[in-house]
Structure 1
Amino acid sequence: MSRLTPYFLSLLLVLTTLGATAQILQPTKLSAALSTPTAKVGQELDLIVTARIDDKWHLYATDFDPDLGPTVFTFTFAKSPAYELVGVPKSIGATKHYDDIFKGNVTYFEKTGRITQRIRVLQPGPLTITAETEFQSCTDVDGRCIPGEETLQFGPIEVTGAAAAPATPAKGSTGAVAPAAPAAVAQAMPAPANTAAAPSSAPGTPVAEADPVLSSPAPAVAPAAAVAGTAAATAPQDSLWGFALAAFLFGLGALVTPCVFPLIPMTVSLFTKGSANRREGILKAVVYGVSIIVIYLLVGVLVAAGLGEDGPNLIATHWLPNLIFFLVFLVFGLSFLGLFEITLPHGMVNKIDAQADKGGWGSIFFMALTLVVVSFSCTGPIVFTILSLASRGQRILPIVGMLGFSSAFALPFMLFALFPTWLKSLPSSGGWLNTVKVTFGFVELMLALKFLSMADLAYHWNLLSRDLYLVLWIALSGLLGVYLLGRFKLSHDSDLPHLSVGRLLMAVLAFSFMTYLIPGLFGAPLPLLAGYLPPQSRRDFTLAAPAGPPVAPATTVVGCEAPRYADFLELPHGLSGYFDLEQAKRCAKAANKPLFIDFTGHACVNCRKMEATVWSDPQVLKRLRENFVVVALYVDDKKELPRSEWYTSAYDHKEKTTLGKKNTDLQLSSFNMNAQPYYVLLDPNSPTDAAHVLVPPVAYEDNVSSFVQFLDAGLARYRQQVAAR
């Protein structure tokens, strides 16, 4: 029976992997068109791309943060003095949706899609424009994602009139083509396609963006006054409501700070006792509350208008805004802890207060403004927190955030004017107010680390590893718990004669959060915080006792050459292996082991799920470590190959210049497959193609037993081939 086992396993794998039969998928088809076939020199027109998308697939659009994971639809236009780009590509009728996996908003098309790019023609004569596109299509059915690239031609365009001088290119422009947002238009080699999971099945909201008048120029910047009126039509309702609710809760929290809470009964009494009748007092309180909302809403409008088209993307991806946010949050956090107090200039406060003392209905607005200014030391950090989080998303979010915050902030002034007897139920001011402020301080310090981490990851500074990040969060949450138990006091704290139930419950929450974080130091994935923690690149803590002599460094196979690209790529779970197929084949031959080829991607969520739930299983990990030489081939890595290794593919006749494009070409040309993850078991002495695989390759397979059978069948087949040689 033991002799039949390899054949049985091979047969079983054939039956269980029929669904993984290699195939080239093309779920998205593109076509090119013009808004008008003729134009005069200096006139603007639109290049139009229409996408036809297979059922149950979707195509990612142009206008979301490229660092989230999915591939943004990108253009690379051929340089020409005959035209220049105007603005950035526009996704018409795309769906926006907050993706829980990527922790951000993505946009995509289903069934059909339309993308336009405005240009300005500069020279007379016939003009044909060539653009290289890169995009990504995904399906919710099984999580597959397919990278795509296509060359499109627009034209010819008949251009008449005298030649016009091109506009002065913006900073960063190359040649005559004006630069656009890096997420959508490139002037050099386009970024390789990533591999990512599809958005979750929760329904998104179609963007109600009107189709532009294609023959007329679009305004460069939307007027600030129009932002509040039009931006709401271009935002997903689910994420807006969620953010508005979070901002509302922030507003309620701001009410119970030392700068605001004592002012509530005093302000309400001014309206109730200083008015001719109760109706007038209620009306003044309502005007006062509405004034507060208007003031904060104006702040949101100004921030939204100041962001511009590319502001959210710049803030989300550039190191400088993230570093500034880190420093500001650090300062605000220390201020909340009592190190110093942040206040606005006294001259400003006095002038506003003088306007409030003049009386009349107009003075009520200045009374509201006085409250906003006087309470700045407590509310300023909270408002900045909302605005900084909002500025990393859509332009409408600062307005939504300020509307939610100010509504909660203004609510008690109106309610207590309507029901003045409720004032008697308010707790008296005391040391508990400073406790709330200190709690906010610890939260601000924890948020500061998130911004530092974003800059650190984007630019590979290696300042804040996952373990150091966790250590700091554990320390801050632990200190908060100890503080809430009254084990130490800060500068503005009063004596604590006894521990209240509320304070005890808050301490329990702080210690619970700290306890949840601790296993992350030893490799636990902490799924609730997956979008907020740096990736696990190394482990500074381990519970396992060292066994035997020190092992070779990670990714270095004992007895084989050192792997290329190990300075920025690594295998999960401390596995040794390679990132270059030829190196891996040489090592596998020397070690007399079969190859385990992992076609993967940095942004491939299903790849990470396989590594976290299947590869981590002791049965799988033992086999990968002992029986195979592992090679991970990233199809989306942007590392440029040495010039001597550039080549033109026999598959698509395009030049391959990056590591990712080389690996994508290998998967397409050798295995007729373009989706990831994709696992191939191969005899290193055989050609690298689908005809010589040891067993049928496997795509996403989250059943550990099936994956173990796949590995065992491949190993058994390899040993048969070795014995037969």
Structure 2
Amino acid sequence: MKKLLTLLLLTLSFLGNAQILDPVKWTTKVVQKSNTEFELVMEAAIEEHWHMFSQYTPDGGSLPSVFEYKNQKGNYTLVGKTTESKYKKVYNDIFEVDEYMFENKATFKQLIKVTNTKLTQVKVYVEYQACLEQCIQLDKTFTFKLPAIQVEEVAKPVKEETVVETEETVAAVADTVIMETTAAIQEDSVVKSKEVVAEVAKEEKGMPKEEKKSLWGIFILAFLGGFAALLTPCVFPMIPMTVSFFTKQSKTKAQGKKNAFIYGISIILIYVLLGSLVTWIFGADALNALSTNVWFNIIFFFLLVFFAASFLGAFEIVLPNSWANKVDRQADRGGIIGILFMALALAIVSFSCTGPIVGTLLVEAASKGGIAPIVGMLGFSSALALPFMLFAMFPGWMNSLPKSGGWLNTVKVSLGFLELALAFKFLSNADLVLQAHWLEREVFLTIWIVIFGAWAVYLFGKITLPHDSPITHISVGRLFLALFVSIFTIYLIPGLWGAPLKLISGFPPPMTYSESPYGVGNTQGGGEVAEALPEHAHFGPHKIIAFHDYEEGVAYAKEVGKPILLDFTGHACVNCRKMEEHVWSQPEVLSILKGEVVLISLYVDDKRELAEADKYISPETGKEIKTIGNKWSDYQITRYKNNAQPFYIVLDSEGNDIATPVGYTPDVEEYKTWLENGIANFKK
């Protein structure tokens, strides 16, 4: 009787706290652009302190917004991509990626061209994630009613845009009344939200500081790339030749300095024009969309391997000789036009060395979007042009330049090793998006260890490549570089045993994307032998035995006679990772999770499709359940009237609730006490 009363009180307490959160309210409308063209407008009003994510937020972090246009075949075609209002960029130190997010409001627009004149409505399915203290996987289906379409072959043009207001405020899942969060959660949310949006809130002249830092980072990286290109055998020997031309052809020193300045500016203009063309052709935001696309990442991988092979001496990448000859003839004209063509001749002749660097920089700039390609080419060309200008203005400095020689090829080969290492970052991006697990953390680090190790051996003179000159000794500079690369190679090795490798954070796959999440041979401290996994179980965070299927987990709990910790979580849930890293990792909590409960972790954002026989329409929400994530999200909503993650419940071994559910609980002692109370209820 006492146990029954306890369960009743817990149930009543839980019902008082149950809530279906939906911090995003939508309105939709149709704007008629012409007789057969309509713009579908979806406006999201986001509650204060919450945020949702752009379609283009990088992989490896929170989930992007996804738009799926239904009943499209034979009825209408999409004109371009779905556009969106301006997002803000914030670095997420949990996932170690920049995330593109909307706060307060977001607007999405899609232009369609109707091909079926009898079409009266268009359905759009939207899937998105909203986060604050907890992350929520949400989806909506909008129905846009279209005005009648004139069927005459030559219709009168629409003089003014016709707006069809649907005034559709989308209700929460299953049209349930959304209950407000408790005052305590609201108060704590304000504190936590300051941490999440600290960088976003700081704006200077309309541009977020994070975006400015990103552009400065691109500029500095490109400047270093330009300096590296300067030290290659295609460019460095041209410095004295160019300086000699200006000093001999100019009638006065002043004219020589002026011509050298124009020459340097011309180099900068040529490369900035290249960056501008890339931005203009693809569009500011489209570049970023390409950079997160699986196939483009794979193409970039092969492109960088091709560049690396060229730098290592397999072949030369050259533009047609006819181009160089034509440009040379134009350069003989003299004057400003001639100087401009001289700069273009430098770009063409040196392409075999600068092309791979420029290509790599444009690929990297594409991941930032916006004007990053222009900024990148400005940085690259500034570093390339500056020495030509300075040595032409001050010819006496030429005496301090080192002589051309084998060291130039060493620089070129070194760039080849760097290109090869960087190439695997793009292959890793594609693998992460596909979740194919071909290039997990251990494999990636092994590849980098081999590449940088081979580079070190090359620098020590133990490997020679096709264009290397015979060497009897190595210079002091080459020795220092060899030592530095060797140190970096040795630094990478502990990463195989679980070291975080913070110096290269963001380059290798995350710790969780691994054959052994805690390092090769790691037994999670203490030298304990890893216990065998029960059937259907997996190793979760901190080597906790976990089940990812509810029925299988309950069956095992019955078998061993332990209570269950039911964990509603998500792969892209920030605060789920925070709980695992900062609360579950504490010894007093970890010992409970490993020894006293059976953990069942249900991922509500698991995109794997259910078998056809297992798909169904939810009786609670009326939604089609077609993925594993849909199934567990629907289970959470149906049973607990809650749709936020993380969300924890303690159950007995029969699957009955025996503790009040809790969400994000960063206080270790509070979470430990909650767990202990649930276990105590199980033992009563």
Q: Which residue in the other structure is 1:677 paired with?
A: 646
Q: Which residue in the other structure is 1:442 paired with?
A: 417
**1:640 corresponds to 2:609:** yes
Q: Is the 8 A contact 2:284 2:369 kept in 1?
A: no
> 1:334-392 CA distances to partner (integer Å, 9 max, x unpaired)?
33233443333444433433433454432222221221122222212111111222334
Q: Is the 8 A contact 1:477 1:511 kept in 2?
A: yes
Q: Which residue in the other structure is 1:429 paired with?
A: 404
Q: Which residue in the other structure is 1:562 paired with?
A: 536
Q: Which residue in the other structure is 2:545 paired with?
A: 576
**1:29 corresponds to 2:25:** yes
Q: Is the 8 A contact 1:598 1:633 kept in 2?
A: yes
Classify the secondary structure of the residue corresponding to 1:157: coil
Q: Which residue in the other structure is 1:352 paired with?
A: 327
**1:377 corresponds to 2:352:** yes
Classify the secondary structure of the residue corresponding to 1:108: strand
Q: Which amino acid aligns with 1:26?
A: D
**1:147 corresponds to 2:122:** no
- 2:497 pairs with one of 498, 513, 522: 522
Computed over aligned residues only, the root mean square deviation of the Cα atoms, in angstroms, reads 3.7
**Displacement after TM superposition at 1:515 (Å):** 3.2
More displaced, 336-345 or 517-526?
Answer: 336-345
Q: Is the 8 A contact 1:123 1:162 kept in 2?
A: no
Where in structure 2 are the equivalents of 1:119-158 lying within 5 Å? 119-122=112-115, 127-139=120-132, 142=133, 144-155=134-145, 157-158=147-148
Q: Is the 8 A contact 2:137 2:605 kept in 1?
A: no
Q: Is the 8 A contact 2:291 2:297 kept in 1?
A: yes
Classify the secondary structure of the residue corresponding to 1:107: strand
Change (3 A) 1:321 1:152: closer
**Displacement after TM superposition at 1:280 (Å):** 1.8
- 1:537 pairs with one of 508, 514, 523: 514
Classify the secondary structure of the residue corresponding to 1:624: helix
Q: Which residue in the other structure is 2:488 paired with?
A: 513
**1:279 corresponds to 2:254:** yes
User: CA–CA distance in 2 between the matches of 1:294 and 1:103?
Assistant: 35
Classify the secondary structure of the residue corresponding to 2:645: coil
Classify the secondary structure of the residue corresponding to 2:592: helix
User: CA–CA distance in 2 between the matches of 1:493 and 1:541?
Assistant: 41
Classify the secondary structure of the residue corresponding to 1:151: strand
**1:159 corresponds to 2:153:** no
Q: Which amino acid aligns with 2:279?
A: A
Q: Which residue in the other structure is 1:61 paired with?
A: 54
**1:656 corresponds to 2:656:** no
Q: Which residue in the other structure is 1:700 paired with?
A: 664
**1:88 corresponds to 2:81:** yes
**Displacement after TM superposition at 1:251 (Å):** 0.9
What are the ranges of 5 or more consecutive residues in structure 2 without an aligned counterpart?
A: 1-5, 156-192
**Displacement after TM superposition at 1:86 (Å):** 2.1
User: CA–CA distance in 1 between the matches of 2:458 and 2:578?
Assistant: 38
**TM-score, length basis structure 1:** 0.77
Q: Which amino acid aligns with 2:676?
A: D
Change (3 A) 1:686 1:546: closer
Q: How many pairs align? A: 628
User: CA–CA distance in 1 between the matches of 2:377 and 2:514?
Assistant: 38
Q: Which residue in the other structure is 1:41 paired with?
A: 35
Q: Which amino acid aligns with 1:643?
A: E
Q: Which residue in the other structure is 1:224 paired with?
A: none
**Displacement after TM superposition at 1:403 (Å):** 2.2
Q: Which amino acid aligns with 1:30?
A: W
> 1:316-347 CA distances to partner (integer Å, 9 max, x unpaired)?
34444333322332232233233443333444
User: CA–CA distance in 2 between the matches of 1:548 and 1:396?
Assistant: 53
Q: Which residue in the other structure is 2:371 paired with?
A: 396
Classify the secondary structure of the residue corresponding to 2:82: strand
User: CA–CA distance in 1 between the matches of 2:45 and 2:285?
Assistant: 28
**Displacement after TM superposition at 1:661 (Å):** 0.8
Q: Which amino acid aligns with 2:200?
A: P
More displaced, 439-448 or 394-403?
Answer: 394-403
Q: Is the 8 A contact 1:41 1:124 kept in 2?
A: no
Q: Which residue in the other structure is 1:116 paired with?
A: 109
More displaced, 85-94 or 337-346?
Answer: 337-346
**Displacement after TM superposition at 1:551 (Å):** 4.7
User: CA–CA distance in 2 between the matches of 1:579 and 1:633?
Assistant: 5
User: CA–CA distance in 2 between the matches of 1:146 and 1:650?
Assistant: 20
**Displacement after TM superposition at 1:64 (Å):** 4.0
Where in structure 2 are the equivalents of 1:167-186 lying within 5 Å? none
Q: Is the 8 A contact 1:325 1:388 kept in 2?
A: yes
User: CA–CA distance in 2 between the matches of 1:596 and 1:425?
Assistant: 71
Q: Which residue in the other structure is 1:719 paired with?
A: 683
Q: Which amino acid aligns with 1:202?
A: E
**TM-score, length basis structure 2:** 0.81
Provide the identity percentage: 42
Q: Is the 8 A contact 2:275 2:374 kept in 1?
A: yes
> 1:501-547 CA distances to partner (integer Å, 9 max, x unpaired)?
x4454344323322332221012233443422124331372155998
Q: Is the 8 A contact 1:125 1:160 kept in 2?
A: no
Q: Which residue in the other structure is 1:74 paired with?
A: 67
- 2:235 pairs with one of 236, 243, 260: 260
- 1:326 pairs with one of 301, 323, 326: 301
Q: Which amino acid aligns with 1:696?
A: T
Classify the secondary structure of the residue corresponding to 1:202: helix
Q: Which residue in the other structure is 2:395 paired with?
A: 420
**1:631 corresponds to 2:589:** no
